[in-house]
Chain A
Amino acid sequence: MLRVILILCFVLAVSGSALYMTKLSVDGRYDRLSQLQTEIKAAENRAIILEAEWAFLSRPDRLLNLSSSLLSMRPITQNRVLPLESIPLRQPASAPSDSKASDTNDRGDNAQ
């Protein structure tokens, strides 16, 4: 009987310690979680402020002033706008034997 009680006490002591250790580690993880959540919130807040700042800096009137003072660009006139279909497709290489010349031509086309 005494042996059984002793074993029981030992088991209780071990499981109690294990429970306490688990509790401590869970506490640690919760602290980490709360720290991460604080960091996420701070990062989200920074993102919100940066988004607002970006919107503020890319105001159409500001961009217009900057572009008119720093760039020599003007609004596109209608005769400079063409639909994509109106650009003719590249002609197939006329002389397949002369591969070198055709390669050069390809590169030239791409560069344009």
Chain B
Amino acid sequence: MRNNTPFSPANSSVISALWRRVWPSRPDPDKSRRIARARLLVAGVVATSCFMGISAKAVWLVSGQDGAKSGQLQTQASAARGAIYDRKGRLLASTIPIMRLHLDPKMVLNPFEVATKLAPHLPGKSEQDILKALARNSRYVELDRKITPARHAAIMGLGLPGVNISATSLRSYPHGSEAAHLIGQVDRDGQGIAGIEKSMQAKLAAGENVNLSIDLGVQAIVRQSLRHQIERFEAVGGASLVMDIKNGEIISLVSLPDFDPNHFAQASDNARFNRATKGVFEMGSIFKVLNTAIALESDAASLVSSYDVSKPLRISGYSIRDFHPRKRALNLSEVLVYSSNIGSAKIAEAIGPEVQHSYMEKLGLLNRPALELPETAQPLIPRKWGRLSTITISYGYGLSVSPVHAVGAIAAAAGNGEFIAPTLLLREPDEVFERTRIFSSETNRKVRTMMRLVVSHEDGTANFADAPGYLVGAKTGSAEKLKVGARGYNEKANLTSIVAAFPIHDPRYLIFVMVDEPKPQKFSYGYATAGWVAAPVIAEIIKKAAPVLGVLPVDIKAPEIRQNLEPNLNIGGKGAIFASF
């Protein structure tokens, strides 16, 4: 072996081996060439793979950017709050895009210039207001939430730095106060806080539309008729409901006074209060319809039952009197047609507390109604449902329910005997819903005939409710209101109500009208009872709304009317004559 090392330590194999490692001898040229070629190859591979990596990254970036862009586009479309429509597709509430004007005081160069130029474009804001807003220590001062497209263009044309406009949305109620209580309201963030807006929050927030059972045309007729009567009788308020007896759909729901939902903040608490669903009242004599139906259904009375009403009834220290006392015995029909409290009390005694309670429960009068509104009420039930309560409830005292309770229950008694919970949502044509049979068709036939006689008989209390051709049946109720902050009833504060069904031989619609505290008027000969106050509203509503609802006038002599009404009712000592229907 050759040793080319210049310095070679002598005689030590270990040291020489180490030295060779530190200073190796020069390799032969062939080996050096091989090593150099291998190094070149490695460097080439590394360089090529680096460039390939860069190329691959470039291709990935080109294709990856497109994906990112499409994702960005998709996020632009966010779901706006759903709209609310009536049963015929008329818009009741929708979210419209608008512009919001806001200032950034730090960016404003000349506050006086901004105030002078901006003020003419902002109705209701003076230059002083704008200067005051600009003086605030904030980067965001909102000046106006409702900028129209025309004003938007004009303000942007001013070219003022620090004056910004951004897109936002506004919940708009184009029909104003027409169905205010029903539709409800949203807060500043678009969350429902009352009415359908609140109860249907999840659906509306997901961008879905809600179709109500309300008919805006009927709603307008009912609201106008009721408001007119409230003004004529200087009443404090009123409520009205129209319900489709066949499927429980509420066609109209009015509570007066009402408010403009576009200016909810300015509405008083009294106007915001929904009397039709949230208010509970002692309904008075309209409960006699239920009393009669329960008596017939439970066999506690029949058409020939007779009740002596010549003397006031004394019970537990209370005296029960009639508004129009009669010095003789009345039959079951006469008790309802003449609206005798004494007669109703005697019928209730025959029914008994347990039976009455069970019927009231089945008719939904003892629980909060399952209506699609947050503003519903729990009825006020007597603490002890004894003999006295049974008697007072028979003519509508001692049990306070809301109008929507009363409508659901009386629809079962005056309709086809089934209790259907009232609903505000439009039902599908083939929708299956819960119906509970309470009364037989025989009971319904008798009750309906009595309700017709309340309108058509000369001694009935609802003569003014008749709308010729539409065969109206009704029952009025005038209840004294409880004194505020004291015991007992206020004789001067009445709650007048009426419940009517038409056409009575095969009722399709039930109408409830309530006028709160009407004052006696000269034109009403000093009367402020339901027959004078509430009954004419029914006639007005039916005359105007029946064509809208598609109810045709009937021929009173038609055979199906004879078949569906009871011919042998005895009123005033003589049998009812057909012509008097």
A, B: real partners: yes
Q: Which residues of A contact B (CB under 8 A)?
A: 19-20, 23, 26-27, 30, 33-34, 37, 41, 45, 48-49, 51-56, 58-61, 64, 75-79, 81-83
Alpha-carbon distance A37/B76, docked complex (angstroms): 9
B398 to chain A, nearest CB (A): 39
Against A, the Cβ 8 Å flags (1 = close, 0 = not) of B522-563 are: 000000000000000000000110110000110000000000
Contact A79 B97 (CB under 8 A): no
B91 partner, pick from A51, A78, A79, beta carbons under 8 A: A51
Smallest Cβ-Cβ distance to B219: which chain A residue: A60
Contact B543 A75 (CB under 8 A): yes
Q: Which residues in window 245-277 of B have CB below 8 A to A?
A: none
Contact A30 B69 (CB under 8 A): yes
A59-B175, A60-B217, A79-B553 given as contacts; is B91 within 8 A of A52 (CB)? yes
Smallest Cβ-Cβ distance to A78: which chain B residue: B469
Contact B553 A64 (CB under 8 A): no
A55-B91, A75-B544, A76-B547 given as contacts; is B97 within 8 A of A81 (CB)? no
Alpha-carbon distance A49/B547, docked complex (angstroms): 31
9 A-B pairs in the complex with CB atoms less than 8 angstroms apart: A20-B62, A23-B63, A37-B73, A37-B76, A52-B172, A59-B175, A59-B176, A78-B543, A79-B553
Beyond the given A78-B469, A78-B553, please list 13 additional residue pairs across the A-B interface where CB-CB is below 8 A: A23-B63, A23-B66, A27-B69, A30-B66, A34-B73, A37-B73, A45-B97, A48-B95, A52-B91, A55-B91, A60-B175, A60-B219, A79-B469
Contact B469 A55 (CB under 8 A): no
Chain A residues, Cβ within 8 Å of B553: 78-79, 81
Contact B97 A48 (CB under 8 A): yes
Contact A30 B73 (CB under 8 A): yes
Chain B residues, Cβ within 8 Å of A33: 73
Among A51, A77, A78, A82: residue with most chain B CB under 10 A: A78
Q: Is B35 an interface residue (CB 8 A)?
A: no
Contact A60 B178 (CB under 8 A): yes
Alpha-carbon distance A45/B169, docked complex (angstroms): 10
Q: Which residues of B contact A (CB under 8 A)?
A: 59, 62-63, 66, 69-70, 73, 76-77, 90-92, 94-97, 172, 174-176, 178, 216-217, 219-221, 224, 467-470, 543-544, 546-547, 552-553
Smallest Cβ-Cβ distance to B468: which chain A residue: A78
Contact B174 A59 (CB under 8 A): yes
Chain A residues, Cβ within 8 Å of B175: 55-56, 59-60
Alpha-carbon distance A20/B220, docked complex (angstroms): 65
Chain B residues, Cβ within 8 Å of A75: 543-544, 547
A52 to chain B, nearest CB (A): 5
Contact A26 B469 (CB under 8 A): no
Chain B residues, Cβ within 8 Å of A26: 66
Smallest Cβ-Cβ distance to A63: which chain B residue: B220
A9 to chain B, nearest CB (A): 12
A55 partner, pick from B90, B97, B543, beta carbons under 8 A: B90
B231 to chain A, nearest CB (A): 15
A52-B172, A78-B469 given as contacts; is B543 within 8 A of A64 (CB)? no
Chain B residues, Cβ within 8 Å of A27: 66, 69
B531 to chain A, nearest CB (A): 22
Contact A52 B174 (CB under 8 A): yes
Smallest Cβ-Cβ distance to B94: which chain A residue: A52
Chain B residues, Cβ within 8 Å of A82: 552
Chain A residues, Cβ within 8 Å of B92: 55
A46 to chain B, nearest CB (A): 9
A52-B174, A79-B553 given as contacts; is B224 within 8 A of A61 (CB)? yes
Alpha-carbon distance A45/B170, docked complex (angstroms): 12
A49 partner, pick from B63, B97, B178, B552, beta carbons under 8 A: B97
Contact A19 B90 (CB under 8 A): no
Contact B66 A49 (CB under 8 A): no
Chain B residues, Cβ within 8 Å of A48: 94-97
Chain B residues, Cβ within 8 Å of A78: 467-470, 543, 546, 553
Alpha-carbon distance A20/B63, docked complex (angstroms): 10
B471 to chain A, nearest CB (A): 10
A19-B62, A60-B216 given as contacts; is B174 within 8 A of A41 (CB)? no
Alpha-carbon distance A45/B124, docked complex (angstroms): 27
Alpha-carbon distance A61/B224, docked complex (angstroms): 8
Among A33, A54, A64, A75: residue with most chain B CB under 10 A: A75
B143 to chain A, nearest CB (A): 22
Alpha-carbon distance A79/B469, docked complex (angstroms): 8
Contact A49 B96 (CB under 8 A): yes
Alpha-carbon distance A75/B544, docked complex (angstroms): 6
Contact B220 A64 (CB under 8 A): yes
Contact B174 A56 (CB under 8 A): yes
Alpha-carbon distance A19/B55, docked complex (angstroms): 12
Q: Which 9 A-B pairs have the closest CB atoms?
A: A78-B469, A60-B220, A55-B174, A78-B553, A55-B91, A56-B174, A45-B97, A23-B62, A76-B547
Alpha-carbon distance A75/B91, docked complex (angstroms): 24
Chain A residues, Cβ within 8 Å of B468: 78
B98 to chain A, nearest CB (A): 9
Alpha-carbon distance A20/B470, docked complex (angstroms): 79
